[in-house]
A and B are shown apart, each in its own frame.
Chain A
Amino acid sequence: MEIDVKHIAKLAKLDIPETELGKMEKELSSIVAMVEKLPELTSKESLLDPQNTMQLRPDEVKPSFPREEMLKNVPETAAGCLMVPKVVE
């Protein structure tokens, strides 16, 4: 099966150099070939685990992390905000 590596890379926000496109396509194809062995299943069963109802925690108002703490790991900040390249002209 053909895999459009360039298109997938665009969706994944990854830059795959031209020289590596062939190698990546070969690797993905070999993994996809493994996947294509899967049997067809017509089951309409739910994809959720019925035994695990996943209790949500109560929605309570409480203090969150201090801003300074959270900003310590931000690559670029200004005036207590995180910075990104300009997105509108």
Chain B
Amino acid sequence: MKKLYEHSATELAAMLRAKDVSAVEITKATLGRIEEVESKVDAFLTVTAEQALQQAQQVDESIAAGKPLAPLAGIPVAIKDNICTKGVRTTCASRMLENFVPPYNATVMEKLAAQGAVLPGKLNMDEFAMGGSCENSYFKPTKNPWDTARVPGGSSGGSAASVASCEVPLALGSDTGGSIRCPASFCGIVGLKPTYGAVSRYGLVAFASSLDQIGPFGRTVDDVALLYRAICGHDPKDATSREAALGEVEAKVKGLRLGVPKEYFGDGISAEVKTAVYGAIETLKGLGADVVEISLPSTDYALAAYYIISSAEASSNLARYDGVKYGFSGRRDGTLNDLYLSTRSEGFGAEVKRRIMLGTHVLSSGYYDAYYKRAKLLQNVIAKEFADAFENCDLIVTPVNPTTAFKLGEKVSDPVQMYATDVCTVTVNIAGLPGLSLPCGTGEGGLPIGMQLIGPKFSEARLLSVAKSYETAVGGFAVKEM
């Protein structure tokens, strides 16, 4: 029989309604599982056991009083540590925010609280969401549940590892250039990067504001849909957010045209990843989808454009960390400038400094037109190429990562090699589109491989429906026993 912690959120919600289990029992199972495997995966930075049990207790009281239950009531949802949680420290996995306790909730947290979701804790990540391996955390690297000598991917590595190891059924992460899809793929679970503007960014610590987006992780497609439905929609506190609601998700792929862009299956993509993704495309074809070859010629330039735009915005966003208003504070026995310098030099890690330096360089006098403006114009070109492609297909299928999860320490010394792992994911952020990562097989050593479904803006229901068809056809996704 399945253990309680192994159940999906959708199953737990049904069990709760049937009174087969209480919310407190679910939360205790989650906390017990965290206790059991956390020393192996290191996914959490903060565990909020007491608060979680109180929240679960309140849900049980509501049930006892016969009140109607919201879809996520009593379901544990762990949160990436760059999403502000009122009264619970939010570190961004940085020394800079080691002791920062937000006085307010991010809008997504308000939405989860309104549904009675339970917060078991905050999850590890690359510092300020900059990285693709979770090794840039100031505190500790998170491990991949499938092989703890390997990275879980990043930057939302804690989110993916906590869901994949059944510590929690659901987690939230954020995605600026692939930070949801990359770890979902490395850890063999489902992750959705919503359309830019579909989910409020209010309370998400800013990295690159024009690219950042919060999104859900789960072990099943239904679970990801459940959490996305709870968090999407317009928020007056985020001017870039827009009306968004998730339509019906039902296994459906017949007659849909799948675009396969040749640029995403080039030399940089390993043979086992290509084989797995092509295999998944064949499966979808068998379910009645039509496959069309398409071309997205500017893909080769996307990575460079991404690093210009994201670093430029990061250098500007991270200027707020000055040691005065909140966060780490450096030496105060010199001038104000000394305080700024020591705060930022000691508070930020190496990768964050590298991005701030790059961003400062591309925005500095005389370079703006050559770099930032050129990248922004290229962004238009890339978005237009996608829009044209969607004239001929309903969604696009690509790999998520060029390889399976690499070993801890394997790429940390070479930033360009590390950045190259984002090659299949950054275009989606640049064009503001939704992208879904779902498992499509395994490579050497049984390591998970993910495929990416990309759709037009606000086509989340379509992506999830196709994903659900695939999930049903393959009999669900494997969970690693730990």
Contacts and interface: CB of A to CB of B under 8 A. Distances in A.
Interface of A: 3, 5, 7-9, 11-16, 24, 27-28, 30-32, 34-35, 37-41, 43, 45, 47, 49, 51-52, 54-57, 65, 69-70, 72-76, 82, 84-85, 87
A14 B344 contact: yes
B377 A41 contact: yes
Given A14-B341, A24-B354, A75 B323 contact: yes
Nearest to B86: A69
A65 B340 CA distance: 26
B336 interface: yes
Contacts of A87: 335-336
15 contacts: A12-B315, A13-B337, A13-B344, A28-B354, A28-B358, A31-B307, A34-B419, A37-B304, A38-B378, A41-B374, A55-B239, A72-B101, A76-B332, A84-B336, A85-B338
A82 to B, nearest CB: 6
B334 interface: yes
B39 interface: no
For the residues of B in contact with A, the DSSP-based class is helix
Contacts of A37: 300-301, 304
Contacts of A24: 354, 357
Nearest to B345: A15
Contacts of B332: 76, 85
Nearest 10 CB-CB pairings of A with B: A75-B329, A73-B326, A15-B345, A57-B236, A12-B360, A41-B377, A69-B103, A54-B239, A35-B304, A47-B376
A28 B324 contact: no
A32, A37, A51, A85 — most chain B CB neighbours (10 Å): A85
A56 B378 CA distance: 27
B412 to A, nearest CB: 12
A82 B327 CA distance: 13
Given A12-B356, A15-B341, A28 B304 contact: no
A11 B260 CA distance: 44
Contacts of A9: 357
A6 to B, nearest CB: 11
B309 to A, nearest CB: 11
Contacts of B239: 54-57
B436 to A, nearest CB: 21
A74 B301 contact: no
Interface string B307-320: 11000000100010
Contacts of B378: 38-39, 41
B457 A51 contact: yes
B304 A38 contact: yes
Given A15-B345, A43-B377, A52-B240, A28 B325 contact: no
A38 to B, nearest CB: 5
A11 B360 contact: yes
B356 A76 contact: no
